[in-house]
C-alpha cells in the first residue's frame, strides 16, 4: 500500500493491518476486506461500498480513484473498474504531456 497507514509522519493504522489488506488470503483476489486485482495492467486493489461506491488504489502510479454512488447503475460497477483506472491514467498522461 502506498503509505502503509502513515500520514504526515504519524502511523494512523498499523502497518501489519494495512499490509494484510493487500495480501491475498484464502483466495488470490481478496485480502483483509480488500479486493485485489493482480491480473490487470496495472495492478490495483479496491474497496467496494453500497450503491456503486468504490475506492480504487493503483500503487504503481500513486493514484487513488474514488467513485461516489447514489444509485446502482444498470451495469455492475465492478465490471467498469478497469475502465475507471484506464481513464484516470489517460487523464494523468494528458496532464503531464499537456
- What is the per-residue pLDDT across 27-67, written as a single tens digit (0 to 9) for each? 988 888 888 887 767 888 998 887 778 899 998 888 898 98
Range of the domain at 41: 6-97
Residue 87 lies in a domain: yes
Q: Is residue 38 in a domain?
A: yes
Structural domain includes residue 60: yes
Assess contact for 38 and 28: CB atoms under 8 A: yes
Q: Is the pLDDT of residue 81 over 90?
A: no
Task: Note whether residue 1 is domain-resident.
Answer: no
- Asked, for residue 13, whether it belongs to a domain, the answer is yes
Distance CA 83, CA 91 (A): 12
Q: How many domains does the chain have?
A: 1
Other CB atoms within 10 Å distance of the CB of residue 44: 24
Rounded to whole angstroms, the Cα distance separating 24 from 80 reads: 22
Amino acid at each position: 500500500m502506498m503509505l502503509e497507514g502513515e500520514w504526515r509522519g504519524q502511523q494512523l493504522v498499523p502497518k501489519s493491518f494495512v499490509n494484510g489488506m493487500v495480501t491475498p488470503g484464502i483466495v488470490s483476489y481478496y485480502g483483509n476486506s480488500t479486493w485485489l486485482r493482480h491480473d490487470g495492467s496495472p495492478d490495483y486493489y479496491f474497496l467496494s461500498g453500497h450503491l456503486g461506491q468504490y475506492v480504487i488504489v493503483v500503487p504503481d502510479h500513486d493514484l487513488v480513484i474514488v467513485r461516489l454512488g447514489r444509485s446502482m447503475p444498470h451495469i455492475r460497477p465492478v465490471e467498469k473498474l478497469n475502465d475507471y483506472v484506464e481513464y484516470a491514467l489517460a487523464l494523468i498522461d494528458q496532464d503531464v504531456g499537456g
